[in-house]
Structure 1
Amino acid sequence: MTYRIAVAGKGGTGKTTFSTLMVRFLAEKGKTPILAIDADPNSCLGTMLGTDQCQTIGDLREELLRDKDDLPAGISKPQYVEMKVRTAMAEEDDFDLLVMGRPEGTGCYCYVNSVLRSFMDNLGEGYAYVVMDNEAGLEHLSRRTTNDVDVMFLISDPSRIGIESAARVRDLAKEMELNVKAFHLVISRASDVDILKPIAEEFGFDEVDTVPTDPKLEEASLKGISLMELDSRAKSYRAVQDIAKRHAPGL
């Protein structure tokens, strides 16, 4: 059974860092294969994972719209879509990466989106874990381009505004009636948890997970080093490991 992890929150809070370190920990624990989905147009999950840039689903959508009436002989449209999505993915030893990319343009995408959604609803079934790095508006989740979510980590910076923003994302997911089984607040660059807990409780979070400020992480970011190569003793990585062990099965 596939375990689906979604990571959400406003920009600049460390969503992609958290997603990358989660993928790394799952891979190191042998919980493979893993599907990493970059669902934030402004994200750089592939760079942090150390993978080469792959074709995005946004680019593929445009290509399918252009070629939908000119397919190769002997292949159905769903088969063609599956083939194109598979070739668009970046494949590594322990994980595959799928980049959603930009939203659609001004053409009629109803059929293309329908075929893509039908395929992607079943895409994660061949993986032990799916880790999806979302944009704050949950665009791809709202379009049902992924199946149910087992846990959504809401990433915030150590501020009242950040925690309130995380609560809005949680409430938005509930309003859209997304099937998210559990929500967990994670505050990045946190130093004083005792100050943050009452604020989190005010916005309906019973518990708070934290990822501390980490010089090793900052150094890797400045040098452009993949977080798959981050020192395993780094405080940020150890914190993500602890969070994963508490909230994901079998870790």
Structure 2
Amino acid sequence: MSESGQNARRKLVVSVCGKGGTGKTALTAMMARALADSGRAGRLLVIDADPALGQLSALGAKVRRTMGQVREEIIETARRGDRDAKAELAEKLDYLVLESLCELEDFAVLAMGRSESLGCFCSVNSLLRQAIEVLAKSFDTVLIDGEAGLEQINRQVARRVDALLIVSDPTSRGIETAAVIRDMVRRDRVIECERLGIVFNRVRGEREGQVLREAARRLELPLFGLVPEDETLSRYDLEGRPVIGLPADSPAPAAVRDLVERVLLGGGQDELRESAGAST
């Protein structure tokens, strides 16, 4: 088997998290594009774990139902409580999960969405997570766009990831949130991950980039990337156009491609070089 074939079949689970409003949804969409274009990600699944479902518009995807809606159907069936209901549930779950999958040309998308039922449904959540884990096994690369913090990832989507990317904007609040997430992973062990690092988004020029490099050192986190502010990306957001369609030579997608190559595809260097980074 060729080296590229081996790389395509190496299982990779990546999660992106951070404070709300840092641009992690757009970043995840650009990562999906870079992974698909590399030809080395194998079968790619993008999971939108943010209840706001911003990833769907960023990718230009439409789903028949979200996993939150699947959860509602399961709860309604389980509430009947008879033997027929249990048999129906067992037959129906895999079908519902598969029907929730949106297959695009280069990857598939699964949206978690939001469940309306109140109360504790731990057994249902566990059942759903198991179904998602089984589905994910048929993909070589799984990319998760999580909601702010780690609760959703830990509860419903993944117990272990290969790489966890904390996204921050160039603000003190974003950096403070990154520190909280770092502690949740390293100290509290809310999720198991092999590599943890930070990506600063919407970076304005080299001077700000240097300040953020120092912030990463203080956080004692590897600096995975500096993604520059991008006028074309801002225009796409304003016009409601899918971020995944950004020109490849636009500053933000170019920086994300470099990040994906180094950190996710075995480029041999996780940390961003001192001479590299945002320069716009």
**TM score, norm. by length of structure 2:** 0.82
Alpha-carbon distance, 1:86 to partner: 0.5
- With 4-13 and 215-224 compared, the bigger mean Cα shift is at 215-224
Counterpart among 30, 35, 40 of residue 50 in structure 2: 40
Matched, 1:181 2:194: yes
Distance 1:74 1:159, change over 3 A: closer
Counterpart among 220, 237, 240 of residue 253 in structure 2: 237
Which portions of structure 1, spanning 4 or more consecutive aligned residues, are displaced by more than 4 angstroms?
A: 69-76
| 1:204 aligned partner | 220
- Three-state SS of the structure 2 residue aligned to 1:182 is strand
- Three-state SS of the structure 1 residue aligned to 2:220 is coil
Matched, 1:18 2:46: no
Counterpart among 129, 137, 143 of residue 125 in structure 1: 137
Partners of 1:208 and 1:150 lie apart in 2 by 14
CA offset digits 1:148-167 (Å, max 9, x no partner): 10101110001222112112
After superposition, residues 109-124 of structure 1 pair within 5 angstroms as: 109-124=121-136
Distance 1:195 1:226, change over 3 A: same
CA contact (8 A) 2:197 2:223 kept: yes
Partners of 2:203 and 2:238 lie apart in 1 by 20
- Runs of 5+ consecutive residues of structure 1 not aligned to the other structure: none
Matched, 1:51 2:61: yes
Distance 1:203 1:135, change over 3 A: same
CA contact (8 A) 2:101 2:108 kept: yes
Q: Match of 2:97, as an amino acid?
A: V
Partners of 2:127 and 2:237 lie apart in 1 by 38
Distance 1:131 1:160, change over 3 A: same
- Three-state SS of the structure 1 residue aligned to 2:118 is coil
Partners of 2:158 and 2:92 lie apart in 1 by 20
Partners of 1:220 and 1:210 lie apart in 2 by 20
CA offset digits 1:105-145 (Å, max 9, x no partner): 22552332232122222221111111100112212222253
Q: Match of 2:31, as an amino acid?
A: M
Matched, 1:6 2:22: no
Partners of 1:178 and 1:186 lie apart in 2 by 19
Partners of 2:83 and 2:244 lie apart in 1 by 39
Alpha-carbon distance, 1:73 to partner: 9.4
- The alignment yields a C-alpha RMSD, in angstroms, of 2.2
% identical equivalent positions: 33
CA offset digits 1:157-201 (Å, max 9, x no partner): 012221121121121133134111111111111122111222222
Partners of 2:45 and 2:230 lie apart in 1 by 27
Distance 1:125 1:207, change over 3 A: same
Distance 1:138 1:54, change over 3 A: farther
Alpha-carbon distance, 1:230 to partner: 0.9
- Three-state SS of the structure 1 residue aligned to 2:192 is coil
Partners of 1:71 and 1:44 lie apart in 2 by 39
- Three-state SS of the structure 2 residue aligned to 1:205 is coil
- Three-state SS of the structure 2 residue aligned to 1:122 is helix
Partners of 1:53 and 1:90 lie apart in 2 by 5
